[in-house]
Every structure is written in structure tokens, then in C-alpha cells.
A = this chain, B = another copy of it.
Amino acid sequence: MTEFELIDAILATLGDRAAGPLTRVGPGDDAAVITVPRGMDVVSSIDTLVADVHFPADAAPWLIGYRAIMVSASDLAAMGAEHGWLIVGLTLPIPDVDWARALTEGMRAALMRANLRLVGGNIARGPLALAVSVHGCVPAGRALLRSGARPGDRVWVTGTLGGAAAALARGGLATYRSPEELDELARRYFLPEAQIGAGAVLREQASAAIDISDGLLQDLGHLCRASGVGAELDLDAIPITPGATLTHALSGGDDYELCFTAASPPRLGVPVSCIGRIVATPGIRADGNDLGSAGFQHFR
């Protein structure tokens, strides 16, 4: 088994997801070539998912693949970007073609769901990890940034929070072998939904946005610092996933919902909750108490 045989198996599994309307050159050359629609800027980000740091190494490869795509694509949603394409750097200790095929099937399901294309990549020997480089388009100068929140704006989140953290705390994530076996909490961990459609609509409605990857307090803290503001939260208004706690919702990461600010109630195709308001004083508080910024930190 060489990396070229692995690549062939992966490309066969990807099928039509390995190219798309903007793809001038797909997998197979030194790089992919993408035609960016006129008047669009390119949005670029990367996430690295390391086995036993960011997912259980012995989790089902389908679930690892689905989650890796959605986790990475969530940065596109946070920027209001669309028409996304991805490049994946996969490192594997051994060239297991069945494992790689199942991983790719999970990736393909997520690519279909989020209307993304995987146009290139690289396979190398190493500890199990995926580096997913994601790209998309926004109308020039219209990217949704972290830095636009203003005092008086309301703070909103999509969906519910805490479910992924509750699933992690409960444990046993490697026991699920397929998406059909997942219960609701495990779905929140393995099958997050990058809110790309909502993000695109929010370009016109939100003053600032971020995706909740490391926990609401930490990520809202990034948004507030970038905007030079603070926030007052209404803890009773935070939408908690059934089975999770308020602590999971405040400090657990991995939900990949959007947190955004807007002066007026947004009109989106997904559920949203108003959880507080932006104030001039830095920091995040509830009923006058500083909530700190507890969340996932990579080296703690």
C-alpha cells in the first residue's frame, strides 16, 4: 500500500465532491485551481484535529470524518462565507485503506450537507491527525468580522449549547460505530452543523459574529475584545441542550453554533435566542457578576 493507492481509494469515495462549479483543476496536480467569482474576496482558515486531543482515536472513522469537515467549515459560517472548498492534510500511522474509505464517506456526507467541495490534499505517515484548510467567498469587503459589536447591540446564539460538552463529559464516544447509533447528545458532538446558510444571511444583519468552538464565554470574550466592548448576559435565556448543564453551555466547546451581535432581531432560517446585550465596559457579566472566560484552552 502506497499513499497513491490510498489517494485513489479516497478520490473514488469522494466522487463528485472532489470538484465543483468553481474548480478549474481538482485533485491530481501540484495544487488545485479555483475560479473565484468576480467581486468576491477569499476567506481562508485552517483547523488541525489531532487524535486523542480533538477526537477519540478509536472513534468510528465515518464520525471522525464528518465532524472534521463541519468543525473546520464552521469558520466559513462565522465569516459569512459561501461556495466553500477544502484541502485536507491527513497523517496516518499505517496506510489502512478501509479506515480511510470510511473516513472519506463521513467527509463526503458532511460535504454534501454543507455544499462544500474537497479539491485537494496530502497524505503522509505520522500520528493520526487531520489538518483541514477551508476557503470560501464573500462579496468584497463584506466579511462578517468579530470586531463590529457596539454598545446597545443584542447578543444572540443559534441553536442550543452544551450538548457536545455533555457528551464528552459522559464519555464512551468511541463505542458508536455509525451515525445511526448516536443518541441526541452524541449527535451534538459528532454531527455538528456548520451554520453556513445562517452566516451568509447574517452578513447583512449582524454587527459581529464568531463560532462557538471553545465555549460561549471564551468565544464571546474574543468577540468583545476585538470590538472593544463587554457583554451582560441573561443566564436564564441561554438555550441549553437537553441533557447538558449551564456550565456545559457556558464553558464547553464543540457546539459550533454561531454567537453574533445585532441591533435588531435577526431573520434567519434557524432558531436563535437573545442571551444578552453589548455594553461599553469590557468583560462578560451576569447580574453584575464577572463570569470570567473559562473555556477550552489547548495547553491546559
Asked if A14 is at the interface (CB within 8 A of a chain B CB), the reply is no
Task: Assess whether B133 is in contact with A30, with CB atoms less than 8 Å apart.
Answer: no
- Cβ contacts A1-20/B at 8 Å (1 or 0 each): 11100100000000000000
Task: Assess whether A53 is in contact with B124, with CB atoms less than 8 Å apart.
Answer: yes
* Residue among A3, A134, A298 with max Cβ neighbours from chain B (10 Å): A298
- Complex CA–CA separation, A44 to B299 (angstroms): 30
In the complex where A3-B297, A41-B36, A127-B129 touch, is A89 in contact with B48 (Cβ < 8 A)? yes
Asked if A121 is at the interface (CB within 8 A of a chain B CB), the reply is yes
Task: Assess whether A48 is in contact with B124, with CB atoms less than 8 Å apart.
Answer: yes
Asked if A114 is at the interface (CB within 8 A of a chain B CB), the reply is no
CB distance from A120 to the nearest CB of B (A): 6
- Cβ contacts A105-148/B at 8 Å (1 or 0 each): 00000000000000111111111010101110010110101110
Asked if A64 is at the interface (CB within 8 A of a chain B CB), the reply is no
Task: Assess whether A44 is in contact with B31, with CB atoms less than 8 Å apart.
Answer: yes
- Complex CA–CA separation, A119 to B46 (angstroms): 11
In the complex where A25-B143, A29-B226 touch, is A48 in contact with B126 (Cβ < 8 A)? yes
Asked if A91 is at the interface (CB within 8 A of a chain B CB), the reply is yes
* Residue among A1, A43, A78, A133 with max Cβ neighbours from chain B (10 Å): A133
* Chain A contact patch, size range: 35 or more
Minimum CB distance partner of A2 in chain B: B297
Q: Which residues from 30 to 47 on chain A have a C-beta closer than 8 Å to any C-beta of chain B?
A: 30-36, 38, 40-47
Asked if A24 is at the interface (CB within 8 A of a chain B CB), the reply is yes
Minimum CB distance partner of A133 in chain B: B133
How many copies altogether? 2
The stretch from A80-88, A172-180, A244-252, A262-270 touching chain B is A80-88
CB distance from A138 to the nearest CB of B (A): 7
Chain B residues with CB under 8 Å of A81's CB are 31
CB distance from A158 to the nearest CB of B (A): 15
- Cβ contacts A63-91/B at 8 Å (1 or 0 each): 00000000000011011010001011111
Asked if A50 is at the interface (CB within 8 A of a chain B CB), the reply is yes
Chain B residues with CB under 8 Å of A25's CB are 143, 145
In the complex where A32-B45, A48-B89, A126-B53 touch, is A298 in contact with B3 (Cβ < 8 A)? yes
Task: Assess whether A94 is in contact with B133, with CB atoms less than 8 Å apart.
Answer: no
Task: Assess whether B129 is in contact with A91, with CB atoms less than 8 Å apart.
Answer: yes
Chain B residues with CB under 8 Å of A89's CB are 46-48, 89, 131, 133
Q: Offer 10 A-B interface pairs, CB within 8 angstroms, sorted by A.
A: A3-B298, A29-B79, A30-B210, A32-B43, A33-B138, A44-B119, A45-B122, A48-B129, A89-B89, A91-B129
* 3 smallest beta-carbon distances between A and B, as pairs: A131-B131, A50-B126, A133-B133
